[in-house]
Amino acid sequence: MTPQIRLISARNAGTPVRVTLDDGRVVTGVIERSLTEHLKIHQEGAARPTIFLAEDVIEVRPA
Q: What is the DSSP code string of 18-34?
A: EEEETTS-EEEEEEEP-
> What is the domain count for the chain?
1
Q: What is the pLDDT of residue 1?
A: 86
pLDDT at residue 52 tops 90:
yes
Q: What is the mean pLDDT of the chain?
A: 93
Position 33 confidence tier, pLDDT thresholds 50, 70, 90: confident
The overall pTM is greater than 0.75: yes
d(CA 12, CA 23): 25
CATH of the domain at 35: 2.30.30.100
Instruction: State how far the Cα of 36 lies from the Cα of 26, in Å rounded to an integer.
Output: 22
Per the DSSP assignment, residues forming a β-bridge with 31 are 41
- Residue 5, pLDDT > 90, answer yes
Query: Domain span at residue 28?
Result: 3-62
- Residue at 61: amino acid letter: R
Consecutive H or E run containing 12: helix 3-13
